[in-house]
Structure 1
Amino acid sequence: MRTLTVKDLKSRLLPVLKQHNVARAAVFGSVATGTATETSDLDILVEFQGEKNLLDLVSLKIDLEEKVHRKVNVVTYRSLNPLIRDKVLSEEMRIF
């Protein structure tokens, strides 16, 4: 398994993000900071077009994991914990 790069993620994940009606997406965590290893998970922030439910979020997570072949943590901008919000937003790198 190779290390993920933001450039690689943009091209690989764009079709999945569009299919799930994502309005914007960004990576954060080790991939965004350049400290990811071959075994790192992928942390991604999303904002959907319109209202979505938990099943929509899980479906997106599964489809993203199939594309990157590793664990993916999907977090919506609205659900960001206030305790980590500033840190996450300061390191986010837009992919869509």
Structure 2
Amino acid sequence: MTTLMSNLHQKSIASTCQKHDIDYLGVFGSTARGEDTPHSDVDLLISFNQPKTLFDLARIKIFFQDLLGKKVDLVLKNNIKPIIKPYIEKDLITLYE
């Protein structure tokens, strides 16, 4: 988690989220637990101020992949299935809201 946080802080979390109309950004999974490896992806929980198209989501995913230098999985906060929600919430670290 330390490397992820330092990369995000260097780029300024708030300005990045504002630029992309993000109203919530969190990290969960192995990265949040500090168990990630060089081959791990980064799981991001995200929500937006306004609805986004699939093209918008693809651009934002690519932006974060370039920023972090890792594969990114975006999970939309309002699309979490109830059965999965507890697993996300137990590791979730809020980066921006």
Regions of 4+ moved over 6 Å: none
Residue by residue over 1:21-41, the C-alpha shift from the partner in whole angstroms, topping out at 9 and shown as x without a partner, is 100100000011110112211
> Which amino acid in structure 2 is aligned with residue 56 of structure 1?
D
Q: 1:9 and 1:27, CA in 2 relative to 1: closer, same or farther beyond 3 A?
A: farther
User: SS of the counterpart of 1:40?
Assistant: coil
Distance 1:16 1:43 in 2: 17
Alignment equivalent of 2:5, drawn from 4, 7, 10: 7
Residue by residue over 1:35-75, the C-alpha shift from the partner in whole angstroms, topping out at 9 and shown as x without a partner, is 01122110000110122222111110010111111100011
Q: 1:95 and 1:79, CA in 2 relative to 1: closer, same or farther beyond 3 A?
A: same
Q: Is the 8 A contact 2:28 2:43 kept in 1?
A: yes
User: Percent of pairs identical after alignment?
Assistant: 27
CA RMSD of aligned residues (A): 1.9
Quote the offset at 1:90 in angstroms.
Answer: 2.0
How many pairs align? 94
Q: Is the 8 A contact 2:30 2:36 kept in 1?
A: yes
User: 1:79: which partner in 2?
Assistant: 79
> Which amino acid in structure 2 is aligned with residue 44 of structure 1?
L
Distance 2:62 2:37 in 1: 21
TM-score, with length taken from structure 2:
0.84
Matches within 5 A, 1:11-30: 11=9, 12=11, 14=13, 15-30=15-30
5+ long unaligned stretches in structure 1: none
TM-score, with length taken from structure 1:
0.85
